[in-house]
Structure 1
Amino acid sequence: MATASQLARVERVRAVQLLLARTAQADAEAQVASETALAGRVAALAAGIAPAPTAAVAFSLSAAAHYRERLHQSSFAAQDRVAEAARRADAAGDAARDAERDLKAVEKLQARADAAAALAAIRALEGAPVPTRFASVMLRHDPC
């Protein structure tokens, strides 16, 4: 069985791992929010370039079509980045839950070790001989 100092060290390591996992999860969620906002901005720009009936020159129509095509490509890329960021956020969440589970397991081991040590101390006291100096005082049953 592990000693108290070993369990304390393992608990500290698991606590740091949990902190790092939660930080990675927060970063991944922030990345998802950032990528979603970017995808929204690209979609808004693409909607603003939609063809409209005007008396425009062919050059400006061609330029708008090219710009719209580039925005659509950017929109598809942004959607892929949002999906990838969401996958990373899910993985970070799983890692944080695993780290929390590991930390709780170590805390349970520490509690079990503390209970075992307390029980061993109680049993040692039960088996200890009564001090002879106080034996006569302890055996008297007269009222104080």
Structure 2
Amino acid sequence: MALVIIARDRWAIGQILLTVIVMYFFIQGRKWAKWLLLCICSLLVVILIGMVLALSSKLSTTLVFRSLIMAALITVIAIYMVTSKDLNRCQPDPKDDKKALPKPTSRYLELLTLFPDKAASTNRFLQFLTSEQDDFKQLW
């Protein structure tokens, strides 16, 4: 991205920004963003393979090889996006389409680092973690 900004390639900057915006909405659980992102991936694969087929005699072997690897990686990412249920961490709020709610899941890990002091509020918090709820496990 930094090289694109230094080169002042507005087309590339626009593509990157568009993809980032679509990815944001994809993570928010928007189905249109998922399909638009898949279209972007498909278009990139078609362009890369088309470039290799049309210009293979004029391109260096390294560029052809890297373009084919990039097309394969994009294809793997697109297949993962279609088949994975874990990509959308949020789902649309049924009451308000403009908001997204986190999906309830029990598959997460949160590490909490405490540097306890002698304050009463710290002691109350530590007491709460150890006795008043079941999900917290002290590592050491």
Return the TM-score normalized by structure 2: 0.36
| Higher-RCO chain (CA-CA 8 Å, sequence separation at least 6) | 1
More helix per residue: 1
Return the TM-score normalized by structure 1: 0.35
Which one has the largest radius of gyration? 1
More strand per residue: 2
